[in-house]
Structure 1
Amino acid sequence: MSNLILEDTINKLSDDDVKVRKEAVESLVGTTDESAIEPLIKATTDDNAQVRFKAAEILGSMGEVAVDKLIEEFVNAEGKDKRFLAFALKETEDKKVIPYFVDATEDEDFGVRKVAVRALGELQAEGELDSIAKCLEDEDWGVKLAAIQALGDLATDESIKLIKDARKAEDDKDFKKSCNKAIKKAEKRKKAKASGKAIVKVIPMSTIKEMEKANLQKAIKEYERYVESKQPKDAAYKRLCVLYRKAGDYDNEVRVIETAIEVFDGTKKADYFEKRLAKLK
């Protein structure tokens, strides 16, 4: 996207016509241009929910580029305006946001508290177990359930015990079911950790393939989860190789190929990646 087109698109985020704003925010999907950060942050307070969510999603996918500005805005925001900033911060997956989410578990807005505690689980903030546990006593049901999910994400002996204690103390059947589900997930993750496996949440390949059309940057991020956790799904590695080749990103293509050769060593699948690597050298 050229500078003139980007500037025009950013200006349209403030258009009176919601249809124009929707089209503008959609066309910014995948951008990493810093000039779009502040307008997108402003768009997280748009009157239209679709615009707010998409703006937050884009900011989150920008990761390190946007995280510092997001933190600054998040700290100074209040009420509902803070919710989508919280979501954007969570989506950056940057561990520097953990202290801010710890503070946000006591925010006045239940929506912010819910995202904050969920983020602490996803970010594996094991050192913040007390902050997560406090949310089990929250007045909002959604926050309590998010705390259970977060404890399940941590998958430690302490977090599992907290889930079991919460299950025992609650009579609601749906809550108990959520606890059972979280315990099952936690025990599976705990076992994987003990065996040295990386714990990474992946989504179906078909979903990521569709995602390429709407948000290529996020799709690459999701494919990379397969590589990070060394999943035995060769399609993810092949697709990443294609995308990095199109982008002229030689280093990342080689990295993915070498990881694939390691994962599929001794199988016919490794042949494809060995041949691809040979052509690059």
Structure 2
Amino acid sequence: MKVEVKDLLDAGVHFGHLTRKWDPNMAPYIYMERNGIHIINLYKTQAKIEETGEALHKIAASGKKILFVATKKQAKDIVAEKAGNVNMPYITERWPGGMLTNFVTIRKAVKKMAMIDRMKKDGTFNSLSKKERLQVDRQRAKLEKNLGSISDMTRLPGALFVVDIKREHIAIKEAQKLKIPIFAMVDTNSDPREVDYLIPSNDDASKSIDCIMSAVEAAVAGGLAERKSDKAEKDAKSEKSTAAKKEVKAEAKVEAKAEKKAEVVAPVAANEEE
């Protein structure tokens, strides 16, 4: 999906922070200053969206998960919707410390959630006292709120996509430690060196976040579609190969039977001649 500069402009992607709050490392992506606010160069944003999109497309096509992180009010609903559309895990509540570096513990908490669900299905839950049921329900609700969106993530993600790297600095540090590629919307008050792939953009306005996240969703969806068609192609080839093998086996059986028959018939014919 190619994003036009006009669309970025209409969404207010170009509005940076106050000039006094800027990070000098963002200088290459700043076009000018207007009324004490830095204006982001949208042509550079457009190029970075394409670069980021290609990388995310490849990761999605390889079958790896991309974990989306956005806990700020303006971004959480948008990110939850876009990530959900492409069946990717996301964190929009508080970042659970050790989410990546202590992934085993987080998985235990997710399994606990599944165990409570099983208890409700097999009737064990009903055998608990009223007080215990209330406690279990509260625990389940808390786990669902914080970890429900990552319940399908059985291994570490192939990449991290972050909205506002200043706010999500703990997630950034954990991903850096584990050498997980980091993709992010980076505003003029942040250090772009913290991430591997940046999209210079306004990370405060919901219209801007929605515009960038729509492009990201399209890139991931493209990768998933490619993976699906590749899989279908492989399956078709595999079916053809299996059918061909069966055909060869069947032919071999027929030939073997014919040979056996010939072996039996030959001596009989010889006796008759005598």
TM-score, shorter chain, exceeding 0.5? no
Give TM-score scaled by structure 1 length: 0.21
Give TM-score scaled by structure 2 length: 0.21
Q: Which structure carries more relative contact order (alpha carbon 8 Å, separation 6+)? A: 2
Highest Rg: 1 or 2?
2
The structure whose residues are more often strand, as a share, is: 2
The structure whose residues are more often helix, as a share, is: 1
